[in-house]
A and B are shown apart, each in its own frame.
Chain A
Amino acid sequence: MTEVIATTPAWVALAYLVAGVLFILALRGLSSPETSQQGNRFGMIGMLIAVGTTLIVHGVGLPLIVAAVVIGGGIGFVIARRIAMTAMPQLVAGFHSLVGLAAVLVAIAAYLNPAAFGILSADGSDIATSSKIEMGLGVAIGAITFSGSIIAFLKLNGNMGGAPILLPARHYLNIALLAAVLILVGVFGLHTPLLFAIIVVAALALGFLLIIPIGGADMPVVVSMLNSYSGWAAAAMGFTLQNTAMIVTGALVGSSGAILSYIMCTAMNRSFISVIAGGFGGDAAGPAGAAGEAKPYKRGSAEDAAFVMKNAESVIIVPGYGMAVSQAQHALREMGDLLRKEGVSVKYAIHPVAGRMPGHMNVLLAEANVPYDEVFELEDINGEFAQADVAFVIGANDVTNPLAKTDKSSPIYGMPVLDVEKAKTVLFVKRSMGGAGYAGVDNPVFYMDNTMMLLADAKKMVEAINKDLG
Chain B
Amino acid sequence: MEHLIPQLSIFVLACFVGYYVVWSVTPALHTPLMAVTNAISSVIIVGALVAASAATGGSEVSKWLGLGAVVLASVNIFGGFAVTQRMLGMYKKKERKAPAEAK
Contacts and interface: CB of A to CB of B under 8 A. Distances in A.
A163 B22 CA distance: 31
Contacts of B42: 47, 98-99, 102
Contact of B29 (A36, A102, A227, A263): A36
A276 interface: no
A417 to B, nearest CB: 16
A256 B33 contact: yes
Interface string B2-25: 111001001110110111011111
B81 A33 contact: no
B46 A241 contact: yes
A295 to B, nearest CB: 35
Contacts of A116: 50-51, 54, 57-58, 62
Contacts of B85: 37, 40
A323 to B, nearest CB: 15
Contacts of A109: 47-48, 51, 61-63, 65-66, 69
A363 B31 contact: yes
Interface residues of B, number: 89
A368 to B, nearest CB: 9
Given A68-B67, A359-B29, A40 B10 contact: no
Interface in A87-104: 88, 91-92, 95-96, 98-99, 101-103
A43 interface: yes
Interface in A35-87: 36-37, 39-40, 43-44, 46-47, 50-51, 54-55, 58-60, 62, 64-65, 68-77, 79-81, 83, 85
Interface in A302-327: 313-314
Contact of B73 (A88, A102, A253, A352): A102
A43 to B, nearest CB: 6
Interface in A330-370: 340-341, 343, 345, 350, 352, 357-360, 362-363, 366-367, 369
Nearest to A21: B17
Interface string B64-90: 011111111111111111111111111
Contacts of A36: 29, 32, 88, 91
A227 B26 contact: no
Contacts of A374: 94
Given A72-B73, A249-B43, A362 B30 contact: yes
Contact of B77 (A58, A73, A243): A73
Contacts of B51: 106, 109-110, 113, 116-117
Contact of B78 (A76, A259, A372): A76
A140 to B, nearest CB: 15
A247 B14 contact: yes
Task: Report whether over half of chain B's contact residues are helix, strand or loop; otherwise say mixed.
Answer: helix
Of A60, A74, A76, A235, which is in contact with the most chain B CB atoms at under 10 Å from its CB?
A76
Contacts of A253: 18, 37-38, 40-41
Given A37-B89, A55-B49, A73-B74, A244 B44 contact: no
B52 A20 contact: no
Contacts of A20: 14
A211 interface: no
Contacts of B30: 260, 263, 357-359, 362
Contacts of A263: 27, 30
A242 B7 contact: yes
A46 B43 CA distance: 9
Contact of A99 (B44, B66, B101): B44
Contacts of B28: 33, 350, 359, 362, 372, 375, 377
B24 to A, nearest CB: 5
A259 B26 CA distance: 13
A230 B35 CA distance: 12
A371 B28 CA distance: 12
A59 B51 CA distance: 12
B21 to A, nearest CB: 5
A164 interface: no
A4 B35 CA distance: 34
Given A102-B44, A113-B62, A235-B11, 8 more contacts: A27-B33, A40-B88, A54-B50, A69-B70, A72-B75, A113-B54, A246-B44, A371-B92
9 contacts: A39-B36, A40-B81, A47-B77, A47-B81, A80-B80, A91-B79, A95-B75, A241-B47, A366-B92
7 closest residue pairs by CB, A with B? A72-B74, A76-B79, A359-B30, A113-B58, A116-B54, A255-B18, A251-B14
